[in-house]
Amino acid sequence: MQNTYDIGKPFDWNYDNGPVYNKEFPPVPQTPQKDFLGHPVNSRLGIAAGLLLNSRWIKTYSRLGFDILTYKTVRSQYRPCQELPNWVFVKGEKQIDPLQPGETQELLGQQPDDYRKITSSVSFGMPSKDPAEWMADVETARKALGRGQVLIVSVVASPGENSPVSEMVEDFGRLAAMAREAGAQVIEANLSCPNVCTAEGDIFLDAELSGEIAGAMHKNANGLPLLLKLGHFAKDQQIREVLQSVQGKASGVVMVNGVSRRVVDERGNPAFGRGREMSGILGRGIHAFSLDNVRSALAIVERERLPLEIIAVGGIAESDDAAPYFRAGAAAVMMGSAPMFDPHLAIGIKRQHPEW
């Protein structure tokens, strides 16, 4: 099946023309309704921030049985995408060691035949359309959803160079109000994007700052559920500190948003070009450590009775990948890249596990 996102074409082409899906929509299995942050949903299967570029993408994947749909991370100002390439494949099926940030990943020349074994690297730079465009489009996306489906809008601040931290916190707060006004049912703050080269990608490692951002957004969300997207934590104590800091402000967290690594070609040159040496890793290679972090977070929430839900993401390409997350107690399972390779993924999982 052809990828719905054409990695050989620029981001703006995929925004204007995608998703590439020319088949008839197959029937979606009917499943019992569940609860997700107070919303009735057909399933607790969703797509994380990244793939769903606009309302057309949201509508297509909603018709394909994904019920928790995340509108790609947007900003309070226009931000262009980085130049091609933006998406490449890396060698090997082994799990990446999250504690070895200096570990280099090697470029794979072509897409593997089995999408379930794919590890990818992305370098987009978190682009965003102008707020006037994305806010109107979020409203369209909300109207495109069917019964038992929920729209999350993911946002990230755009602090100026050398600007005070307070400016970033205020920007996150404004974005919460903008997302709410546009029609979001749930708001997500992206605190952990691994495919940018600036400090906005590792905010989640600062527990106090994460709490400040959650507070500012909670104030402007006007009662809407608020999620924080987090990256990998090396120690359980770090997870505990962040969860303690955001409780009572956020409704839950989404984890794990991959890791940043150096990706090189066969000559040892940066796969994405000079100045873009580091890029985000997603897919098969991040499943093990993502599951470990989710299990740790769930144990902390249970032990300390924190009013937080844990939404899992990381290396999920089939039901066997999702199962341990659900068994651990995740409130939902989100998929990042796999739905691009197999848009019928949710339909297949629902047939096997209608209880999810």
- Note if the bond before 85 is cis, omega within 30 degrees: yes
Q: Say how far apart CA 329 and CA 314 lie, in whole Å.
A: 15
Digit-coded pLDDT (tens) for 234-260: 999 999 999 999 999 999 999 999 899
Yes or no: say if 31 and 70 are a contact pair by the CB < 8 Å rule.
no
pLDDT over 70 percentage in the chain: 97
- At residue 198, the pLDDT reads 47
Q: Say how far apart CA 93 and CA 117 lie, in whole Å.
A: 6
Q: Say how far apart CA 123 and CA 15 lie, in whole Å.
A: 16
Residue 61 has pLDDT above 50, yes or no: yes
Please give the angle made by the CA atoms of 101, 169 and 184, to the nearest 5 degrees: 95
Digit-coded pLDDT (tens) for 310-324: 999 999 999 999 999
Digit-coded pLDDT (tens) for 7-22: 999 999 999 999 999 9
Residue 184: is it exposed, middle or buried by C-beta count within 10 angstroms (0-12/13-18/19+)?
A: buried
Q: Say how far apart CA 262 and CA 87 lie, in whole Å.
A: 14
Residue 155 has pLDDT above 50, yes or no: yes
- At residue 161, the pLDDT reads 84
Weakest-pLDDT range from 97-101, 169-173, 201-205? 201-205
Report field, pTM of the whole predicted structure over 0.85: yes
Yes or no: say if 247 and 306 are a contact pair by the CB < 8 Å rule.
yes
- At residue 137, the pLDDT reads 98
What number is the average pLDDT over the span 169-181?
A: 98
DSSP string of 203-225, one letter each residue: GGG-HHHHHHHHHHHHHHHTT--
- At residue 93, the pLDDT reads 73
- At residue 194, the pLDDT reads 56
Yes or no: say if 248 and 310 are a contact pair by the CB < 8 Å rule.
no
Residue 59 has pLDDT above 80, yes or no: yes
Q: How far is CA 226 from CA 15, 187, 258, 308, 319, in A?
A: 26, 5, 21, 10, 27
The band of 92, judged by pLDDT with boundaries at 50, 70 and 90, is: confident
What number is the average pLDDT over the span 60-70?
A: 98
- At residue 193, the pLDDT reads 66
pLDDT over 90 percentage in the chain: 92
Provide the 10 A C-beta neighbour count for residue 22: 6
- At residue 201, the pLDDT reads 60
CATH numbers and ranges of domains, the chain:
34-352 (3.20.20.70)
Residue 333 has pLDDT above 80, yes or no: yes
- At residue 1, the pLDDT reads 62
The mean predicted confidence, pLDDT, of the chain is 95
- At residue 196, the pLDDT reads 45
DSSP 73: E
What number is the average pLDDT over the span 23-40?
A: 97
Among 124, 82, 85, which Cα is nearest to 7's? Answer: 85
DSSP string of 93-108, one letter each residue: -SPP-TT-TT-EEEEE
Provide the 10 A C-beta neighbour count for residue 247: 18
DSSP string of 170-207, one letter each residue: HHHHHHHHHHHHHT-SEEEEE---TT-SSGGGGGGG-H
Residues listed for the chain: 356
Residue 229 has pLDDT above 70, yes or no: yes
